[in-house]
Each structure stands twice: as C-alpha cells, then as structure tokens.
Copies of this chain bind each other. A is one copy, B any other.
Amino acid sequence: MDSLEAAQAEALLRPYIGVRERDLLRGDATGDGVFIAEGEVVVRVLVQRGRFAVRSLLLEARRVEPLRDVIDALPESVPVYVVPQSVMDGIVGFAIHRGILALGSRGVPLTPSELLGGQAEGKPELLVGLVGLANHDNVGSIFRSAAAFGVRGVLLDDTSCDPLYRKAIRVSVGGALVVPFARSESATAMLDAIEAHGWEPIALTPRGEETFGNLGKACSRRVLLMGTEGEGLPDHVLTRARRVRIDMEPTLDSLNVAVATGIAIYEATQGMRAHARR
C-alpha cells in the first residue's frame, strides 16, 4: 500500500476526481477505457471474478481491514490508496458512504460474434438482447438477474446504456462485472448476428401471440429480446422474432422492464436447469 503525498495525489487519483460530476455531465461511460466500481460487495466481485483488470483501489482508512483478503488477492503492481473519509469525499465530489472505490480496465470489448459463437455442444443456453434500454437502474437490475440465472451473456444495441457505468454496476451488485456483454452497431445488426449464428430470437412483447409458458424447451439456443417500457421493441425487430408475452391481468399496466426481464429469464432458464440436472 502506498502512503500518499500531496504532490502525487492529484496525478494518481485523477480518475477518481469528480466521479459524480462526470456521471452527470457525460451521462455515460467513465471514458478512457476505465470504469468505477463502488462498495464492498461489488469490489469483491471485481477482484475475485477477475474478468476485468483492476488498476487501483481507493479506500477510506477504516475499510482496509474488512477488505484485507481482497487486497492480498491483488497483484502487487496494483496500488491501494488509503485516505481519510473527508479526503475521499473531496476527491470524488460526494459522500461515498461505503468508502470503497476501485478503478477497473474495460479491456478489449467482446464482439457480438464472440458472444454468440463457440457454444458448448448441445448445452441449452440463453442470451439477453437489449434494444433502447437507456436507464442504468434497469440495465443494472437486468445484469443482476442475468448473473443469478446463469445467462451466458447480454447483447446491447447502440442506444442501450453502458453496463459499466458506475450506477449500473452498483445496481447489478456486480452482475455487470460477471456476465459478458457485446454491443452491436444497431438493432438490425444484432438480429443479423443472432440469425447468422443460428440462435432463436424471442421478443418479449405484450402483443405476443403466445405466452411464455407455452414456449417449450425445444430450442437450445435462444436470445431473449427486450425493449423499452413505453415504446417496446420496434416493428422491424418484432417481425424477425418469435413474439411471446407474459400472461397477466388484461386490465392494468405493464410490468417494469427489469421485473419483466427477470420473469422471462426465470422462465427461459427453467428448462436449462432441468437439462443440467439430467
């Protein structure tokens, strides 16, 4: 662990400075190929899963002991900056109650083809494809559910938000650091890739001709396509997919998109879990 001198601080801690203001200004991505993870649970996932390289940790002094095992698991080359709470708040621009931040490297993004290719022989698998999901809470929550149910990965169109945005990672409780994802340049390109790799696109829509319960377990490789709550999936996506609805009361409302995705993932992976137990 380094003991910080004032002269070093500004340069070393630059990626952490004004985290919140940057969030507000840019609305997406921390840029520069890095992302910020916050809180003990999320930073544990980041370090222990090892999917992304850790560049540094920034800890409030009393957070060091509870994280001792995590710190010991880091390569020696990764600096751990320890500061008083007041200094931390000053650096990041707001009160970080959890006092634990990490800077991760995004690395080289996966391509949709990499995510869709190379399937294990005969094993049923599920991907989720997001179209137009711009809300970090919803995308974070979807990654959390995807992790909980063993979804193989998430495809994003160009208008969906960044899963490595600080709040999305936090809401995902680390799911965004675990479940692989890849971005397509458009929803059309996403569908092209899905078809080219022989996966079955399943569109969740209130206008679906069949209910989820009737979907059956025949196809072993499915992509569950989700659109926004208001507009839903665009017609040009719906026409290229099998359209399925969640059976609910006809009188009121739709579901929150993160809840609907959770239900759909749960339904679609039940067959997979049954298969795995066989």
Contact = CB atoms under 8 A, between A and B. Distances in A.
A149 interface: yes
A256 to B, nearest CB: 5
A149 B253 CA distance: 10
Given A263-B262, A266-B246, A144 B256 contact: yes
A129 interface: no
Contact of A256 (B145, B248, B253, B255): B145
Interface string A213-250: 10000000000000000000000000000000011110
A4 interface: no
Given A213-B270, A270-B213, A148 B262 contact: no
Interface residues of A, number: 31
B266 A147 contact: no
Interface stretch (A65-73, A81-89, A172-180): A172-180
B144 A248 contact: no
A254 interface: yes
- Which of A150, A178, A254, A259 has its CB near the most chain B CB atoms (within 10 A)? A259
Nearest to A175: B253
B213 A252 contact: no
Nearest to A267: B266
A258 B148 CA distance: 14
A206 to B, nearest CB: 10
- Which of A174, A178, A213, A249 has its CB near the most chain B CB atoms (within 10 A)? A249
Nearest to A250: B150
Interface of A: 45, 141, 144-145, 147-150, 171, 173-175, 178, 213, 246-249, 252-256, 258-260, 262-263, 266, 270, 273
